[in-house]
Amino acid sequence: MPTHNAERVRKRRAALRAAGLRPVQIWVPDSRRPGFAEECRRQCLALRNDPQEKEILDWMEAAADTDGWV
């Protein structure tokens, strides 16, 4: 017999599926892992002064719709 919470989750997921949505699992780097910050720094330094990186960042800034952001 499912618990009250499990039943509520089942109904919520069924409603989302009925609305045309589906669940997706996304794996991301573990920011708590030792060495994470150092690897971020290494990658950032590797991109410093890279002309392609500047071009991409400029494009992203121009394309971003930030109207209404505080």
Up-side HSE of residue 56: CA atoms within 13 Å toward CB? 7
Q: Which of 8, 30, 12 is nearest to 21 (CA)?
A: 12
pTM value surpassing 0.75:
no
DSSP 33: S
What pLDDT score does 7 carry? Answer: 94
Contacts of residues 13-21 at CB distance under 8 Å and 24 or more positions apart, as own/partner, are: none
What pLDDT score does 3 carry? Answer: 84
Q: Region 4-19: what's the mean pLDDT?
A: 96
Helix ranges restricted to H, the chain: 4-18, 36-47, 51-63
Rounded (to 5) percent helix, strand, coil in the chain: 55, 0, 45
List pLDDT tens digits, range 38-54.
Answer: 999 999 999 999 999 99
